[in-house]
Structure 1
Amino acid sequence: MNFEIIGEISNIEVIAVGNSIRILPLLKVEYGQGRWRKLKGIATIRLNNEEIRLAEVHWFEAHSIGKRKMRIKRFLD
């Protein structure tokens, strides 16, 4: 992850659950079994160069495993 989330993630939406996730086999091998979901939300982030931006972020999440593979989808400012 080449950025840091500052504050809370808002407007969280579920994009896909279970077999609808393209990389589900990879997630299971890398992080273990779980009820995997792909989510998106809006967050204020700090980039490596200390720049602060508003961005749409996507990530995968499973109960007791947590957020994984978080990435910036697009900048909103």
Structure 2
Amino acid sequence: MYFEIQGTIEDIEPIAIGSSIRDLSRLKKQFGPGRWRKLKGTTNVKLGNGHVRRAEVHWYEAHGIGKRKMKIKRFLD
């Protein structure tokens, strides 16, 4: 599903850090080594059909690498 983040991500919370991430070896292989964290937050997203909805998003992030593998987990409205 294609979407764009509209505005800022709020209420950011860590879900997993370092070795507690299930996909850690895949992340290191694909994007490089780093202090990987899995995070979640809420934001407005613009969907492919043009609708804007409030959603909870999850993503992986490492210092110097940035946000990767962002996905919509559920809609909040």
Indicate the TM-score class for this superposition, using the shorter chain for normalisation. Answer: over 0.9
- The aligned counterpart of 1:45 is 45
What's the RMSD between the two structures over aligned residues?
0.8
Using the TM superposition, give the Cα deviation of residue 2 of structure 1 relative to its aligned residue in structure 2, in angstroms: 1.1
Distance 1:2 1:9 in 2: 17
TM-score (norm 2): 0.98
- The aligned counterpart of 2:25 is 25
Structure 1 moving runs of 4+ over 4 Å: none
Aligned residues: 77
CA distances 1:15-64 after superposition (whole Å, capped 9, x unpaired):
00000000000000000000000000000000000110000000000000
Distance 2:26 2:18 in 1: 12
Gaps of 5+ in 2: none
> 1:1-77, aligned counterparts within 5 Å?
2-77=2-77
Q: Sequence identity, in percent?
A: 64
Gaps of 5+ in 1: none
TM-score (norm 1): 0.98
